[in-house]
Chain A
Amino acid sequence: MTHPVELLAEYVDGALMPSDQALVDAHLAGCRSCRNEIEAADAARRALSTLDAPSSVPSGVGAPALAEMSRTRSGATTPRWIRVLPIAAAAVLVGLLAVVIPRIGSDASGDATSAPETVAADQRGELRLVAGNRDLDPSSLEAAAEAYVSDQRIAEAAEASGVAGASAAAPPAPTLGIAKTEAALACVRSAFEGFPGTVVGLERVIFEGSPAILATVLEGPGAGQPPDTVSLWVASVPDCSTVSIASASL
Chain B
Amino acid sequence: MNDPTSDEELVRRSLNGDESAFGSLIERHQDRVYRVCLRVLRDSEEARDAAQDTFLTVFRKLAQFRGDAAFTTWLHRIAVNSCYDALRSKRRRPLLQAIGDEQDGPLELGPPVDDHADEIAGAIDVESALAAIAPDHRIVLTLADIEDLPYEQIATILDLPIGTVKSRVHRGRVALAQALGIGQTPSPSKGLTEPAQGEGPSEGSP
Contact = CB atoms under 8 A, between A and B. Distances in A.
Given A66-B19, A69-B19, A46 B117 contact: yes
A127 interface: no
Interface residues of B, number: 80
A163 B181 CA distance: 50
Interface in A1-43: 1-3, 5-10, 12, 30-37, 39-43
Interface residues of A, number: 60
Contact of B166 (A1, A7, A30): A7
B177 A179 contact: no
B116 interface: yes
Given A41-B170, A56-B31, A58-B48, A65 B109 contact: no
Nearest to A43: B116
A40 B127 CA distance: 17
B205 A174 contact: no
Nearest to A5: B167
Interface stretch (A47-55, A201-209, A234-242): A47-55
A32 to B, nearest CB: 7
Contacts of B200: 3, 33
B89 A175 contact: yes
Nearest to A11: B170
Contacts of B173: 9, 12, 40-42, 44-45
Interface in A120-140: 125, 128, 131
A60 interface: yes
A63 interface: yes
Contacts of A30: 205-206
Interface in A39-97: 39-51, 53-58, 60-66, 68-70, 73
B199 to A, nearest CB: 10
B73 interface: no
Contacts of A2: 104
Q: Secondary structure of the A side of the interface?
A: helix
Given A9-B170, A12-B170, A177-B85, A39 B51 contact: no
Residue from A3, A177, A179 whose CB has the most chain B CB atoms within 10 Å? A177
B134 to A, nearest CB: 14
A178 interface: yes
A227 B103 CA distance: 52
30 contacts: A1-B201, A5-B103, A6-B170, A7-B166, A9-B144, A34-B106, A35-B112, A36-B109, A36-B112, A37-B107, A37-B170, A40-B109, A40-B177, A43-B116, A43-B117, A43-B177, A47-B124, A47-B177, A57-B35, A57-B51, A58-B48, A61-B26, A65-B56, A66-B22, A69-B22, A70-B19, A176-B89, A177-B49, A177-B82, A179-B52
Interface of A: 1-3, 5-10, 12, 30-37, 39-51, 53-58, 60-66, 68-70, 73, 125, 128, 131, 171, 174-180, 182
Interface of B: 14, 17, 19, 22-23, 26-27, 30-31, 33-35, 38-39, 44, 48-53, 55-60, 82, 85-86, 89-91, 103-113, 116-117, 120-121, 124, 126-127, 129-130, 141, 144-146, 151, 163, 166-167, 169-174, 176-178, 180, 182-183, 200-206
